[in-house]
Amino acid sequence: MPPLIEVTHPKGIYLPEADLWLDPHRGKERAFVSHAHSDHAARHALTICSEITHQLMVVRKTAKKSGAVMTPRMREVFEWEGWELRLLPAGHITGSAMLHLTRKADGATLLYTGDYKLRQGLSAERCELMQADTLIMETTFGLPKYRFPAAEAVIAQMLEFVRETLAAGGIPVLLGYSLGKAQEILCALRDSKLPVMVHSSVARITEVLAPHLSALPEWRLFDAKEAAGHVLVFPPGSKLELPGMRTMVLSGWALQPSAKYRYGVDVALPLSDHADHPELLETVERVKPRRIYLVHGATREFASELRSMGHDARALGAEDQLELALQAS
């Protein structure tokens, strides 16, 4: 059995043997970027990512113009300095990817999930997992209370809200991040045959992603003078005031009772592009890793739960005393 690939966390996830950073917040010499959300994308001397993610980074100006970029195709193995690398669909947003590495010298493997979900969404490829000795996974919703309802039921509630608001002469405003959630909302509106207007930031991203999405409705740029009778798709936090408007935010955090007040909306529905607690457990079961590193969210709590099940699980960057003892042994 080969030794595990070394993973460190000097203010970011780093693989010293490959000299490769994973989704670092600051610019590095060599980095893998799992997707184009601003908390994962930065300007690096060399960036490894999917082609769609690179296009989005250019549009959002998070790509380094003079930097080198490698955009391997999904699922295809490419050899790189003694390693075999493979990008796998993460199911998070359009273009999101996991990274699977194999050390050619002895066959040791590692899977980095980045942000992901196992559920099939409307605007992203279904996630594809692969067995690995070491698993680095995000645990944004790593507590047992986070269990998302079926997306079909949430979308049905969203459409009911939209139709009831329009029937009452109001303007429904659906709030979701310009990249990812907004496209999921638009795909969900396709069959409604309702007129749609979008915020300029949503329009800019959707124009880039349109060739990769098969289920978009007709939409137009927001015009306040003609907004009546339309469904509006805007990012959260937008300063918008229209007569008769009613707002709904779509987020995994809507499972929290305070979400409606936190976002300052009329309705909050739990539509998420992250894995929930059952999916996190399923991921571990399917990948069958020898060691698990957890990042983001409830890392310590989920690590403790996994250790109680017999797994070698550690909160990366936030090791507690038990985890330090495990490492020492």
Lowest mean pLDDT, pick from 20-29, 36-45, 117-126: 36-45
Sorting pLDDT into bands at 50, 70 and 90, what band is 317?
Answer: confident
CATH topology of domain 13-145+274-328: Metallo-beta-lactamase; Chain A (3.60.15)
Buried b (16+ CB within 10 A) or exposed e, 116-144: bbbbebbbbbebbbeebbbbbbbbbbbbe
* pLDDT reported for residue 329: 32
Instruction: Name residues whose C-beta falls within 8 Å of residue 188's C-beta, 6 or more positions apart in sequence.
Output: 122, 155, 158, 159
Percentage of the chain beyond pLDDT 70 is 93
3-state secondary structure of 70: strand
**Tokens 């020492």 correspond to what residue?**
328
Q: What are the pLDDT digits (tens) for 115-145?
A: 999 999 999 999 999 999 999 999 999 999 9
- Supply the DSSP symbol for 74: B
Supply angle C-alpha 260, 263, 264, rounded to 5: 75
* pLDDT reported for residue 146: 97
Percentage of the chain beyond pLDDT 90 is 84
**Tokens 């010293």 correspond to what residue?**
16
3-state secondary structure of 173: strand
Q: How far apart are CA 293 and CA 83, in angstroms?
A: 21
| 38-63 mean pLDDT | 81
- CATH among 3.40.640.10, 3.40.50.10890, 1.10.1740.10, 3.30.60.50 for 151-269: 3.40.50.10890
| 194-200 mean pLDDT | 97
Instruction: Name residues whose C-beta falls within 8 Å of residue 28's C-beta, 6 or more positions apart in sequence.
Output: 12, 21, 42, 44, 45
Q: Domains of the chain: which residue ranges?
A: 13-145+274-328, 151-269
* pLDDT reported for residue 38: 66
112, 102 contact by CB (below 8 A):
no
- What is this structure's pTM? 0.93
The answer, yes or no, to whether residue 327 has pLDDT greater than 50, is no
**Mean per-residue pLDDT over the chain, rounded:** 92
* pLDDT reported for residue 215: 80
Lowest mean pLDDT, pick from 26-30, 164-168, 239-243: 26-30
Of the candidates 162, 302, 308, 304, the residue with the CA atom closest to the CA atom of residue 233: 162
* pLDDT reported for residue 39: 66
Phi, psi of 59 (to 5 degrees): -65, -40
* pLDDT reported for residue 57: 86
* pLDDT reported for residue 93: 95
